[in-house]
Amino acid sequence: MDTVKLNTGSDMPIVGLGTFKLRGQELVVQTVETALKLGYRSIDTAAVYRNEKDIAIALKQFCPKYDIERNNLFITSKLAPKDQGYEEAKAAVLKSLESLGLEYLDLYLVHWPGKQGMLREDERNRQYRKDTWRALEELHQDGRLRAIGVSNYTVRHMKELLEHCQVKPAVLQIEHHPELQQTELISLCREQGIHFQAYSSLGTGKLVSHPAVLETATKYNRTPGQILLRWAVQRGVGVIPKSTNPQHLKDNIHIFDFTLETEDMGRLDSLDSGMHYCWDPQHVA
């Protein structure tokens, strides 16, 4: 598995297991076991996914079985929008640690730039973000959060954070695929030494049937999903594809034994249209 070095000095696998909408103890445990057996060592969850406790059961059961030490795992969770704020964020981190049965998290992200229950345009969102980040910085300094970062932040949100933070975010996780390439955000992250990680790499499944993707998949004798994931990692972008299908889980991690030619990368690059398939945080104050 290829890794990326974060600005904290730690290594993060460039492919992780996404767990959005992965619910139900039996399915979560089964999926995590399959992933660990296939070689996944990074698992991405969040408080709002409501599966942290089930992931903990799987880790406790299968890490010993597959001889996986804690320091070989990379576990990410995220702050629920309702928990924005200094005290709320601190309590939320401790709750996630307890739910996951862990002493520390490898990465913890602010899931959304706004606070739940407030209007997007409410200027108080700025102060909540600032207070939240201060809490995460303290938990990072005491070792419970090995790295901290953000999700769904725009260029404006990122610049605001970089103006006041004592600890730079290690990761920005946001929607990214050939139709939504976020080039300005990627440039900003690279200038600042922040790893850019994608979610919804397949455009919530819509892009696997795109003619350009299908034709490229045929050329390389790969699945459309593998082409989309390879396109991202070849650009240095991390990915966290989600699947409960064992064959798809296997396909999603086997993207390091081929390289897309320059013309094929260019063809996929040309699809950029600013198309959001998920949430657009642009209007959060």
Structure tokens at 166: 């004592």
Of 41-55, 118-132, 153-167, 226-240, the poorest mean pLDDT is in: 118-132
Question: How many Å is the maximal CA-CA distance in the chain?
Answer: 53
49 an active-site residue?
yes
Give the CA-trace dihedral at 277, 43, 152, 275, to 10 degrees: -20
CA distance 21 to 12: 23
From the candidates 40, 49, 153, 199, which is the catalytic residue?
A: 49
In whole angstroms, how far apart are CA 34 and each of 19, 37, 56, 60, 127?
Answer: 13, 5, 15, 14, 42
Average pLDDT over residues 109-129: 89
Average pLDDT over residues 102-117: 95
Q: At what angle do helices 211-220 and 224-234 cross, to 10 degrees?
A: 90
Q: At what angle do helices 155-164 and 124-141 cross, to 10 degrees?
A: 60
58-89, pLDDT tens digit by residue? 999 999 999 999 999 999 999 999 999 999 99
1-31, pLDDT tens digit by residue? 899 999 999 999 999 999 999 999 999 999 9
Structure tokens at 113: 């730039």
- Name the helix (H) or strand (E) containing 109: strand 107-110
CA distance 5 to 112: 24
Beta-strand pair 3-5/11-13: antiparallel
CA distance 96 to 92: 6
CA distance 268 to 226: 13
CA distance 144 to 97: 9
Q: 280 pLDDT band (50/70/90 cuts)?
A: confident
pLDDT of residue 121: 82
Strand, coil or helix: 115: coil
